[in-house]
Structure 1
Amino acid sequence: MVRHAPPQVSAPLPPPPAPQNLTPLPANPAAAQGPRRLEDFRSERREVQEGGRTVITEPGRIIIRDPSGGSFVRHDENERFRFGARDIQTQRVGNETRTVIIRPDGSQVITVIAADGSLLRRIRRDVRGEEFIIIDNSYRDPRAVGGFYVDLPPPVVRIPYDRYIVDAEDAPPDMIYDTMEAPPVDRIERRYTLDEIRYSPNVRMLMPSIDVNTINFDLGSWEIPPDQASKLQVIADGLNRAIQRNPREVFLIEGHTDATGNDTDNLSLSDRRAESAAELLTQQFGVPAENLTSQGYGSQYLKEQTSGPSRINRRVTIRRITPLLNGGVASLPPPPPGIAPPR
């Protein structure tokens, strides 16, 4: 077997824009994923300048390019939660917007968005009315400084490399299951918000990851063919086992592209690949949608160091981020008034 050069453990990026004025996502973009190939909707992109930033909108996505050269992509995860919903309600409570997804069994997923468009909380309410806070971004650690980007040194990794970045194709199921519940590889100094985790590589790298190299994508596509979808069974089993043990587990699905194409295309494409994997894990394998979050990184993290087409680089990665969200401790501060603590 040919072994490709491992990705760098430290991958510094230009800090993304500060979050004070996020461009609002469309309230209900038609067909969040849109067409299944990138060239089908390039003509629908619109580009504007906002405060020195370039903001590019397209069906289901906003891509923001900072003057420093950094870029990132955003999408509305509520679209993914709509699958199989019995009812969807949107409520305005003060400066917050709450979207309530009601499922056929009566359980609910509640997403609370701040006035600036950022996620405050994601909550699951079961059929008995018991509430579990899956993500709580309303608490801001006093040690947090600045915007989304957190400038940390690379973690000190003391475990074998093949246990830190696990190749799903080669790993036995037990190794995949263990990685789904593995602890951080280095000390976690504080709680991080979801956006800090998404946009700070050395924060994410505190947690082991699984490269889902059992599936690859065609050039310019985010569709997972049926013959490859079944290869996600072991991944789904590991996710479901971890979530059954702890209903508040959160897993980040990261999308990647090869180095062909431009940055805008690659960010959009990688984000859609991550969302496609999350959709499939929920719709075909029953992984709760609210325990998954997704983010695309374009061609920033190549596994095979080549500037040409590479099926190996067109992949998704899965990482448990629960300890990053809760600061590496088992308990969280008391929930906001009116929200019952998890039991």
Structure 2
Amino acid sequence: MTKRQLTLLATTALTAMQLASAPSHAQSAPIVVAQAREELGPDGKPKQPPKEAPKGAPPARPGAAPQPPQHQAPPPPPQPQHPAAPPPPPPQHPAAPPPPPPQHPAAPPPPPPAAAPHTPPPAATPAPAAPKPPAGPTAQPQEREREMERERQKMAPPAPQQPAPPPAAAPHAPPPAAAPQAPHTGQPATPPPAATPPAAAPQQAPRAGQPPAPQAAPQAAPTTQAPRPAPGAAPGGQTALPPAAATMARKPPPAVAAPIPVVRPAQALTPIAPGAAAPGPRRMEDFRAQRQESDQGGRKVFTEPGRVIVVDPSGQSFIRHDEDERFRFGARDIRTERVGGEDRTIVFRPDGTQIITIAGADGHLLRRIRRDRDGREVIIIDNGFRDPSAVGSFYVELPPPVIRIPYDRYIVEADVAAPDVIYDTLEAPPVDRIDRRFTLDEIRYSPSVRLMMPSIDLNTINFETGSWDIPPDQAAKLQVIADGLNRAVGRNPREVFLIEGHTDAVGNPVDNLSLSDRRAEAAAELLSRQFGVPAENLTTQGYGSQYPKEQTDGPSRINRRVTVRRITPLLDGGAGAPPPPR
């Protein structure tokens, strides 16, 4: 009986050993297949994977705990072979990268520093995710070793199990060192980050969707820079002066800070009957010989009948005349009286209205008032204040205005503009904010102040050479402008319009300045005498060839022009009426 029992025990032990060894082979079988795919089968050690199973076998032996003492004899032979197994893994793992080559060729972009930052983060997490699916849960320890070695080759992270491989992976350590360089290169120029995401996309497209999230951040950077060109453009309006107006802002301030001398009439003013010809010279040749030149305070001063011309060392020239001359036409009577320290010139009209011009002791205009037959007064111009910062009390410098209207509505060409456009321009507000009131002299002699208001250019009136008379066949060209002026004054009796005269650069600059001033006055006279525009609502000024629209020294019909500009907002500061006369 004992022999039979021993035999049965032996057979049961053998069957148990076979059963115990069968699952270990099943567990090692997929690993052998993986090694065969890695082309490691021809190493001459096909039995190495099953002999590696003993490592995995111990976890399986807990179920067969009674037999280990008997089966301890077979394990010793595999032990000498398993130490040989560790050396093969290094040659096998270099071959293991071939499965990830689609990922590792994407890793060469790390030499460009831009792609380097993207490789470290994905390699840490998605790499283990890829090998896990093919291997079963029982082969986790072996797969972890492979992952650790793969990571050492790519990123060279510290491995606690195998300290020797890290130095071998040290050459790969520089790529992570290049990672800080990539953000540095991305800071000065934002376009590179936009170029890097597409390069990183093929690397991690097969992997998890985590990398696209960091790619969205660099794409947001170009979106923040996209609006940068927008400020560079000027949507919503012009921010620079039009070419024709830019020349007005380039004049330097006067070098001599002294007022422009006033013109005092040689004799008392007398009325001129309606329809009568204007007295005095009508051509430059008639008084050129009477012109006198002098040097006053470092500037040249020319005096001629009815005019004073000042040529400043800065290159600017200014001319002044007596505007009371225009009020003589159609007047019933003219009286001059002195009240306190002020001189008053009163022009009586046939309808009973009075035009009162008040000048200071120095002859400069202080106020202009219209008094109707009932005694009601309207203050049209008030110069009863002085800006201490103004050069010579007549010149101020303002920054160029921001023009937010179309160019053809800022400088209107009367010969092509519709009547409604002309009407609107004669009532248009300033193109930019006005911070204070300006005197009439500041408006006349400061180009930067005049630029605040739109203007109408009329260059179709043909004057005879050296003359300022407007032929009868040319007068009709002022009809539309006269209608607009009367319409504006009818709505606001305090409206004031500046009539400017301009010439081309042909001829003597002093002659051109005098000629332009007289032509502007002739246009204002015609508007009042033939079209009924109130003379007190107009003021005139000549500029010669100082503000050309066409940059040429030759003859230019465009530069020979008359300009009409509303200046009411400049006189009253854009709001409110001037204070009453003192």
TM-score of the superposed pair, with normalisation by structure 1 = 0.91
- Shift in alpha-carbon separation, 1:18–1:248, aligned structure 2, 3 A: farther
5 Å matches for 1:105-184?
105-140=351-386, 147-184=393-430
Partner of 2:543: 297
The equivalences for 1:233-244 within 5 A come to 233-244=479-490
Correspondences of 1:62-141 after superposition (within 5 Å): 62-140=308-386
Does 2:516 align with 1:270? Answer: yes
Which residue, out of 19, 23, 27, partners 2:261?
Answer: 23
Counterpart CA distance in 1 for 2:451 and 2:486 is: 23
Taking the aligned partners of 2:506 and 2:279, their CA distance within structure 1 comes to 21
Deviations 1:135-194 (A, max 9, x none): 000033577676311111111111000000000000010000000000110111110000
2:244 matches 1:7: yes
Secondary structure, in 3 states, of the residue corresponding to 2:499?
Answer: strand
Distance of 1:274 and 1:61 partners within structure 2: 13
- How many angstroms does 1:6 deviate by? 4.6
1:51 CA displacement: 2.7
Looking at structure 2, the residues matched to 241 and 113 of structure 1 have their Cα atoms a distance apart, in angstroms, of 29
From 211, 228, 232, the counterpart of 2:457: 211
Hey, what's the Cα distance between the residues in 2 that align with 1:141 and 1:67? 23
Rounded to whole Å, the distance in 2 between the matches of 1:17 and 1:135 is 28
Distance change >3 Å, CA 324–CA 312, structure 1 → 2: same
- Residue identity in the other structure for 1:9: A
Q: Is the 8 A contact 1:21 1:116 kept in 2?
A: no
Q: Deviations over 1:176-226 (max 9, x none)?
A: 000000011011111000000111111101000000123232332212111
Structure 2: tracts of 5 or more residues without a match = 1-241, 270-276
Instruction: Provide the C-alpha distance between the structure 2 equivalents of 1:33 and 1:302, rounded to a whole number of angstroms.
Output: 31
Contact 1:124 1:132 in 2 (8 A): yes
Q: Is the 8 A contact 1:17 1:147 kept in 2?
A: no
Report if the CA contact (8 A) 1:19-1:148 is conserved: no
Higher relative contact order (CA 8 A, sep 6+): 1
Q: Partner letter of residue 87 of structure 1?
A: D
Equivalent residues in 2 for 1:300-315, closer than 5 Å? 300-315=546-561
TM value normalised by structure 2: 0.55
The aligned counterpart of 2:435 is 189
Query: Which structure has greater helix proportion?
Result: 2
Question: Structure 2: how far apart are the matches of 1:92 and 1:16?
Answer: 33
CA RMSD of aligned residues (A): 2.1
Amino acid aligned to 2:577: L
Question: Are residue 54 (structure 1) and residue 279 (structure 2) matched?
Answer: no
Q: Identify the residue that residue 581 of structure 2 maps to in structure 1.
A: 336
Distance 2:496 2:376 in 1: 19
Residue 19 of structure 1, CA deviation? 7.2
In 2, the alpha carbon distance for the partners of 1:54 and 1:281 equals: 34
- Cα deviation, 1:78-101, whole Å, max 9, x if unaligned, reads 000111111111011122110001
Kindly tell me: are residues 146 and 195 of structure 1, through their superposed partners in 2, closer, same or farther at Cα, counting changes over 3 Å?
A: same
Structure having the larger proportion of residues in strand? 1
Number of aligned residues: 332
Segment drifting more, 119-128 vs 308-317:
308-317
Contact persistence 2:504–2:553 (CA under 8 A): yes
- Which deviates more, 247-256 or 305-314? 305-314
Which amino acid in 2 is paired with 1:7?
A: A
Moved more, 250-259 or 86-95: 86-95
**8 Å Cα contact 1:252-1:318 kept in structure 2:** yes
Aligned partner letter, 2:444: R
For residues 53-78 of structure 1, give each alpha carbon's deviation from its aligned partner in whole angstroms, at most 9, with x where no partner exists: 32211111111122333210000000
The higher radius of gyration belongs to 2
| Cα shift at 1:308 | 1.1
Distance 1:246 1:17 in 2: 38
Q: Distance in 2 between matches of 1:334 and 1:37?
A: 41
Match of 2:498 among 252, 273, 287: 252
**Contact 1:45/1:56 (<8 A) preserved:** yes
Give me the whole-angstrom Cα distance separating, in 1, the residues matched to 2:400 and 2:247.
5
| Alpha-carbon distance between aligned partners in 1 of 2:355 and 2:450, rounded to the nearest angstrom | 25
The share of aligned pairs that are identical, in percent, is 72
CA distance in 2, matches of 1:10, 1:76: 28
